[in-house]
Structure 1
Amino acid sequence: MKLDFSTQSPDNSDIIKRCHGGTQMSQITLRQIPENVDALIRQLSKEQKQSINKTIIELLEKALGVSQDSNKKRNLSQLAGTWSDRESEEFKKNTAQFDKIDWEIWENENLH
Structure 2
Amino acid sequence: MATMTLRGIDEKTAEALKQRAQQEGTSVNAVTLRLIRESLGLDKKKRVVTYSDLGHLAGTWSKEDAAEFERNTAVFEKVDEELWK
Per the normalisation by structure 1, the TM-score is 0.40
Quote the residue 2:68 is aligned against: none
Structure 2, unmatched stretches of 5+, are: 53-85
Identity level (%): 25
Superposition RMSD in Å: 2.5
* 1:40 counterpart (16, 30, 33): 16
**d(CA) in 2 for partners of 1:56 and 1:29?**
12
Q: Aligned match of 1:81 in 34, 41, 50?
A: 50
Give 3-state SS (helix, strand or coil) of 1:36's partner: helix
Matched, 1:49 2:25: yes
Deviation at 1:28, TM superposition (A): 1.0
Letter in 1 for 2:50: G
Q: Which residue number in structure 2 is paired with residue 60 of structure 1?
A: 36
- In 2, Cα distance between equivalents of 1:28 and 1:60: 13
Deviation, 1:81, is 3.3
Give 2:19's aligned amino acid: Q
CA distance in 2, matches of 1:48, 1:63: 18
Higher Cα Rg, which structure: 1
Cα displacement string for residues 38-87 of structure 1 (whole angstroms, at most 9, x for unaligned residues) = 011000001001111111000001100111xx16x9xxx65x5399xxxx
In structure 2, how many angstroms separate the alpha carbons of the residues matched to 1:63 and 1:35? 21
> Whose RCO is larger (CA < 8 A, sep 6+)?
2
Moved over 2 A (4+): 80-83
Using the alignment, how far apart are the partners of 2:28 and 2:11 within structure 1? 15
Counterpart amino acid of residue 26 in structure 1: A
